[in-house]
Structure 1
Amino acid sequence: MWSLVEVIGAPGASFSDGKPLDVVRGGDEGSYRLIINDHGFLDLTEAGDGNAIYANSSILIHNNLPSTSVCLYLHVNDGGVFELMAFASHIAERSSPPSTVQGRLKPLPNVSAEDAAFIDRMMDGRYIPYQNIPESPGKTVGKIKRLGLQYFAFTPYSFQLAMCVYDWTTASFARLVLLKIFEYTGIHPPPFPIDRNSLASQIWTSDWESYGPNDPDYMRSFMMKPAGSLDDVKAQLDRIIKDLHSLSDVENRLLAAAIQSLPRTSVIQHPQLFSGQVDMSQLGLEYFGIEFLECPLNRGPVDAELVIDFADALRTYVAQGKIITTKMVWSFTDKVEDAMHYSNGIVLVANPPENSVIWDNAAYITPLSDDPEKTEYTFMAGTKFEVQSVDNITVGGSPICVINLQPVSEPNTPTLAISKKMIQPRKLGGSQLLDISKSYVHNNHLPHSLHKTAGRRCTCVADQEWVIV
Structure 2
Amino acid sequence: MWRITETHSDFHLWFSDGKPVDSIRGGNLASSRLVIDKNGFLDLTEITLPDMRLLNANDSIIVVKTDQDSPPTGNNTPLWFELSLRIDGDGGFELSIVKSPTVESNERASGKLKPLPEVFEEDVNYINKMIERNYVPYQNIPDAPGKTEEEIKALGKRLFPFSPFSFQLAMCIYDWTTASFTRMVFMKIFEYTGIPPTPFPIDDTSVAEQIWDSNWPPYDPQNPDFMNSFMMNPAQSLEEVKAQLDKVGTELHKFSDVQNRLLSAATQALPRASILLKPQLFSGQVDICQLGLDRFGIEFLECPLNKGPVSERLIYAFADAMASYISTGNTITTKMVWSFTDSIEDAMHYSNGILLVANPPGESWVWESAAYVTDLSDDPKKIEYVFAPGTQFEVQSVDQAIAEDKHVVVITLEPKITQQQITTSHKLTNEVRKGLASPLKASEAIQLVQSCGTDNTRLPHTKDRFGGRRCACCRRV
Normalising by the smaller structure, the TM-score range is: over 0.9
Q: 1:415 to 1:189 in 2, by over 3 A?
A: farther
* Aligned residues of 1:209 and 1:453 also touching (Cα < 8 A): no
CA distance in 2, matches of 1:26, 1:434: 34
Amino acid at match of 2:346: D
Select 2:240's aligned residue among 232, 243, 248.
Answer: 232
Q: Secondary structure at the match of 2:142?
A: coil
Q: Secondary structure at the match of 1:359?
A: coil
Amino acid at match of 1:73: S
Q: Secondary structure at the match of 1:249?
A: helix
Deviation at 1:215, TM superposition (A): 0.5
Q: State which drifts further: 407-416 or 223-232.
A: 407-416
Deviation at 1:439, TM superposition (A): 5.3
* Aligned residues of 2:63 and 2:106 also touching (Cα < 8 A): no
Q: 1:151 to 1:343 in 2, by over 3 A?
A: same
Amino acid at match of 1:118: Y
Q: Secondary structure at the match of 2:472?
A: coil
Deviation at 1:234, TM superposition (A): 0.8
Q: Which residue of 1 aligns with 2:43?
A: 43
Q: Which residue of 2 aligns with 1:459?
A: 472
Residue 145 of structure 1 pairs with residue 118 of structure 2:
no
Deviation at 1:428, TM superposition (A): 3.9
Deviation at 1:217, TM superposition (A): 0.3
Q: Secondary structure at the match of 2:314?
A: coil
* Aligned residues of 1:209 and 1:461 also touching (Cα < 8 A): no
Q: Which residue of 1 aligns with 2:304?
A: 296
* Aligned residues of 2:400 and 2:410 also touching (Cα < 8 A): yes
Q: State which drifts further: 52-61 or 327-336.
A: 52-61
Residue 322 of structure 1 pairs with residue 324 of structure 2:
no
Residue 78 of structure 1 pairs with residue 89 of structure 2:
yes
Deviation at 1:138, TM superposition (A): 0.2
Q: Secondary structure at the match of 2:254?
A: helix
Q: Which residue of 2 aligns with 1:370?
A: 378
Q: CA RMSD in A?
A: 2.3
Q: Which residue of 2 aligns with 1:133?
A: 141
Amino acid at match of 2:424: L
Select 1:379's aligned residue among 384, 387, 394.
Answer: 387
Select 1:58's aligned residue among 57, 60, 72.
Answer: 60
CA distance in 1, matches of 2:100, 2:256: 51
Deviations 1:368-419 (A, max 9, x none): 0001000000001100000001111111210011000001122862332252
Q: Secondary structure at the match of 1:18?
A: coil
Residue 113 of structure 1 pairs with residue 121 of structure 2:
yes
CA distance in 2, matches of 1:441, 1:107: 41
Deviation at 1:98, TM superposition (A): 8.7
Q: Which residue of 2 aligns with 1:13?
A: 13
Residue 440 of structure 1 pairs with residue 453 of structure 2:
yes
Give TM-score, length-normalised by structure 2: 0.91
CA distance in 2, matches of 1:14, 1:435: 40
What pairs up with 1:253-264 in 2 under 5 angstroms?
253-264=261-272
CA distance in 1, matches of 2:190, 2:116: 30
Amino acid at match of 2:112: R
Deviation at 1:87, TM superposition (A): 2.2
Amino acid at match of 2:409: C
**% of aligned pairs identical?**
51
Deviation at 1:421, TM superposition (A): 4.7
Residue 273 of structure 1 pairs with residue 269 of structure 2:
no
Deviations 1:314-348 (A, max 9, x none): 00000000000000000000000000000010000
* Aligned residues of 1:87 and 1:98 also touching (Cα < 8 A): no
Q: 1:3 to 1:310 in 2, by over 3 A?
A: same
CA distance in 1, matches of 2:387, 2:432: 24
* Aligned residues of 1:289 and 1:295 also touching (Cα < 8 A): yes
Select 2:343's aligned residue among 310, 335, 353.
Answer: 335
Q: 1:432 to 1:348 in 2, by over 3 A?
A: closer
Residue 429 of structure 1 pairs with residue 439 of structure 2:
no
Deviation at 1:117, TM superposition (A): 0.8
Residue 248 of structure 1 pairs with residue 256 of structure 2:
yes
CA distance in 1, matches of 2:98, 2:356: 43
* Aligned residues of 2:216 and 2:468 also touching (Cα < 8 A): no
Amino acid at match of 1:459: A
CA distance in 1, matches of 2:93, 2:448: 47
Q: State which drifts further: 172-181 or 77-86.
A: 77-86
Question: What is the number of equivalent residue pairs in this alignment?
Answer: 458
* Aligned residues of 1:451 and 1:458 also touching (Cα < 8 A): no
Unaligned runs of 5+ in 1: 465-469
Deviation at 1:69, TM superposition (A): 2.9
Q: Secondary structure at the match of 1:234?
A: helix
